């Protein structure tokens, strides 16, 4: 007579839990992703942190090696001295005017052009779009001399017209908005037409509200580009009173090598801060635009 198995009557034996292999893969992938993001933040953030801290350091502390991150005394005088050495108040006014009206001209040009290319029927429409795409391949430096000669013939050198008008074209924005407008549901536009809406009403009350994230994203990119523009304002203006902030920082550089880098960093911070404020204000729309693109993809 065979002996009964000691496991008889104990019920089914639970198998040992096996951790899904994909869970391990996900955790490893997440760790690698966070590590890469941390490296990216360090690469981008450390120079900005150094700029911010150097703006309140003395010159010997800036030249110290190994570097001193936290100064012994925060030298806020750098901001006052930088503001007084060059007319930064005037530079701010010039930059705000150039950025506001330049961005406004670019956005209106891009929105109207994109709407026409997306929804209007006119002869050679595809050819016009092809020419706009070709304009994307032309370096902006190529247009500097023709623009300068044109403005010189009009007597507009060293004026706000010279800072704003030559940069009113926006081939990239026209292309970006046109491609986005084509993804909007046609049923909504047809319903607006049935209600008697014209093209301007459809654009402002239907198309733009549905395209808010992409419009705000383009607005941010355009404003940042105009605010940081250096080459064209340097060429189009001839007096210190018409210079912009990126050009104005060069007045703090000493040709003999005695540059007070604390003042230069303070001036740079004054240039960067408005862009950070603009980014914080538009961040919500940027996230919505990225999320919408991910869902559509």
Q: Does 239 lie in the same domain as 101?
A: yes
Q: What are 100-118's pLDDT values in tens digits?
A: 999 999 999 999 999 999 9
With respect to residue 182, please indicate whether it lies within any of the assigned structural domains: yes
Q: Residue 176: which residues within 8 A CB-CB, separation 6 or more?
A: 110, 114, 214, 218
CB-CB contact of 288 with 213 (8 Å): yes
Mean of the pLDDT values across residues 136-154?
Answer: 89
Whether 280 maps to a domain, the answer reads no
pLDDT-derived band at 140, boundaries 50, 70, 90? confident
141 and 91 co-located in one domain: yes
For residues 6-16, average pLDDT = 50
* Residue 275 Cα to chain centre, angstroms: 9
Q: Is residue 9 part of a domain?
A: no
- Structure-block tokens of residue 17: 């839990």
Residue 296 is predicted with a pLDDT of 46
Q: Is residue 54 in some structural domain? A: yes
Q: What is the pLDDT of residue 12?
A: 53
Tell me the per-residue pLDDT of 52-95, one tens digit each, with 9 for 90 and over: 888 888 888 888 888 788 888 888 888 888 888 888 889 999 99
- pTM to 2 decimal places: 0.79
* 119 in the same domain as 45: no
Q: Do 141 and 32 belong to one domain?
A: no
Judge if 125 and 248 occupy the same domain: yes
Packing angle between helix 171-181 and helix 125-135, nearest 10 degrees?
A: 130
Confidence at 288, pLDDT banded by 50, 70, 90: low
Q: Provide the domain count of the chain.
A: 2
Q: Which domain holds residue 49?
A: 24-63
What pLDDT does residue 295 have?
41
Domain presence at residue 196? yes
**Using 50, 70 and 90 to split pLDDT, how confident is the model at 7?**
very low
- Distance from CA of residue 11 to its chain's centroid? 66
Q: Is residue 106 part of a domain?
A: yes
Residues 237, 97: one domain? Answer: yes
Same domain, yes or no: 211 and 155: yes
Q: What is the CATH number of the domain that holds 173?
A: 1.10.3720.10
Which is nearest to 222 in space by CA: 136, 102, 137, 134? 102
Residue 229 lies in a domain: yes
Is residue 264, in this structure, part of any structural domain at all?
no
Q: Say if residues 88 and 100 touch (Cβ distance below 8 Å).
A: no
Q: Is the CB of residue 127 less than 8 Å from the CB of residue 133? A: no
Of 39 and 24, the one with more pLDDT: 39
C-alpha distances in angstroms, 79 versus 37, 55, 71, 149, 280? Answer: 33, 8, 16, 38, 23
């Amino acid at each position: 007579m065979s002996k009964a198995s000691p496991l008889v009557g104990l019920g089914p034996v639970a198998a040992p839990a096996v951790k899904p292999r994909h869970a391990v893969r996900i955790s490893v992938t997440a760790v690698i992703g966070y590590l890469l993001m941390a490296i990216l933040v360090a690469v981008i953030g450390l120079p900005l942190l150094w700029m911010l801290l150097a703006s309140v350091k003395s010159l010997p502390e800036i030249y110290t090696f190994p570097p001193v991150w936290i100064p012994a005394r925060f030298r806020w005088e750098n901001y006052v001295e930088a503001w007084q050495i060059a007319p930064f108040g005037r530079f701010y006014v010039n930059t705000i005017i150039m950025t506001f009206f330049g961005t406004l001209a670019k956005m209106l040009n891009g929105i109207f052009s994109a709407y026409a290319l997306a929804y209007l029927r006119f002869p050679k429409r595809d050819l016009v779009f092809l020419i706009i795409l070709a304009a994307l391949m032309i370096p902006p430096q190529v247009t500097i001399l023709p623009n300068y000669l044109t403005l010189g013939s009009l007597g507009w050198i060293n004026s706000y017209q010279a800072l704003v008008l030559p940069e009113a074209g926006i081939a990239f924005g026209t292309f970006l908005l046109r491609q986005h407008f084509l993804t909007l549901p046609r049923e909504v536009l047809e319903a607006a037409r049935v209600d008697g809406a014209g093209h301007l009403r459809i654009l402002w009350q239907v198309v733009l509200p549905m395209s808010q994230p992409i419009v705000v994203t383009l607005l941010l990119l355009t404003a940042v580009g105009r605010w940081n523009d250096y080459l064209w304002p340097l060429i189009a203006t001839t007096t210190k009173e018409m210079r912009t902030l990126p050009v104005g920082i060069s007045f703090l550089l000493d040709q003999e090598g005695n540059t007070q880098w604390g003042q230069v960093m303070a001036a740079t911070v004054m240039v960067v801060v408005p862009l950070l404020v603009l980014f914080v204000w538009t961040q919500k729309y940027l996230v919505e635009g990225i999320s919408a693109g991910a869902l559509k993809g």
